[in-house]
């Protein structure tokens, strides 16, 4: 049997949505921080999870697979009940309240009070890298943007943690963090660390 101490050490368990996209890099970043992870492909995989990461990839494909796997409604209910979630790139699109230039049948969870435009940086600069000044970090964070969504508006309860040319690229709303770039594709784990700290704070409050 697991001792109470080792059970406490194995938490939190953070799920990484693994239907499609760059999920392995998130698993690696979290593992580097010593956090237990689980790849999420079915509703059963959500059992006992403390938080969820939604990776970059293709939001239209993920939307379709979320519905066919039965995960869409289950995740929506869990996040509604307070489960922290971190969405990056396509993951941010999935969280947004309003998606512009999406496919007509594309679904989003609507939990982040933001309007995002898919592929909103246009063709010429559809992929770019730039150093970001992030609230709470002493030195810049290197942002990798790949056909990134552009955040065109955020609601009053959304805290903007970083911007590019005035547009929010990293935001937080309660227990939701979202980045229009890919923090999992650099060796810098500071944003994952911030998310894990948020998850631990939630756990402490529950006890
Ligand atoms: N353009 C993609 C989409 O719609 C997102 C790109 C990414 O996640 N790197 O969904």
Q: What is the pLDDT of residues 42-72, one digit of tens each?
A: 999 999 999 999 999 999 999 999 999 999 9
Does 189 sit in the ligand 1 pocket, CB within 6 Å? no
Does 178 sit in the ligand 1 pocket, CB within 6 Å? no
Catalytic residues: 89, 182, 184
Kind of pairing between the strands at 51-54 and 150-154? unpaired
**Which residue matches tokens 């309007």?**
115
Does 88 sit in the ligand 1 pocket, CB within 6 Å? no
* Sheet bearing 85-88, strands edge to edge: 36-40, 13-17, 51-54, 85-88, 176-179, 167-173, 159-164
- Name the pLDDT band for 124 (thresholds 50, 70, 90): low
pLDDT surpasses 70 at 84 = yes
Using one digit for the tens of pLDDT, what is the confidence trace for 1-57? 444 455 455 689 999 999 999 999 999 999 999 999 999 999 999 999 999 999 999
Q: Which atom of ligand 1 is nearest to the CA of 102?
A: 4
pLDDT surpasses 70 at 202 = yes
Q: Tell me the whole-structure pTM to 2 decimals.
A: 0.93
User: What's the rounded mean pLDDT across residues 96-124?
Assistant: 93
Using one digit for the tens of pLDDT, what is the confidence trace for 143-153? 999 999 999 99
> How many Cβ atoms are within 10 Å of 35's Cβ, its own excluded?
22
């Amino acid at each position: 049997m697991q001792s109470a101490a080792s059970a406490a050490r194995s938490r939190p368990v953070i799920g990484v949505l693994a239907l499609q996209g760059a999920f392995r890099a998130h698993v690696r970043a979290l593992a580097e921080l010593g956090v237990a992870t689980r790849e999420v492909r079915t509703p059963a995989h959500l059992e006992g999870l403390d938080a969820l990461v939604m990776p970059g990839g293709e939001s239209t494909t993920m939307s379709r697979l979320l519905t066919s796997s039965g995960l869409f409604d289950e995740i929506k209910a869990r996040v509604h009940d307070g489960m922290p979630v971190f969405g990056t790139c396509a993951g941010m699109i999935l969280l947004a309240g309003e998606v512009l230039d999406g496919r007509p049948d594309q679904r989003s969870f609507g939990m982040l009070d933001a309007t995002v435009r898919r592929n909103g940086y246009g063709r010429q600069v559809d992929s770019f890298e730039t150093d970001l000044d992030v609230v709470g970090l002493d030195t810049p964070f290197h942002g990798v943007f790949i056909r990134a969504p552009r955040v065109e508006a955020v609601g009053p309860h959304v805290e903007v943690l970083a911007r590019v040319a005035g547009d929010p690229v990293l935001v937080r709303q309660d227990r939701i963090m979202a980045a229009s770039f890919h923090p999992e594709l650099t060796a810098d784990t500071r944003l994952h660390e911030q998310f894990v700290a948020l998850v631990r704070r939630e756990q402490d409050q529950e006890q």
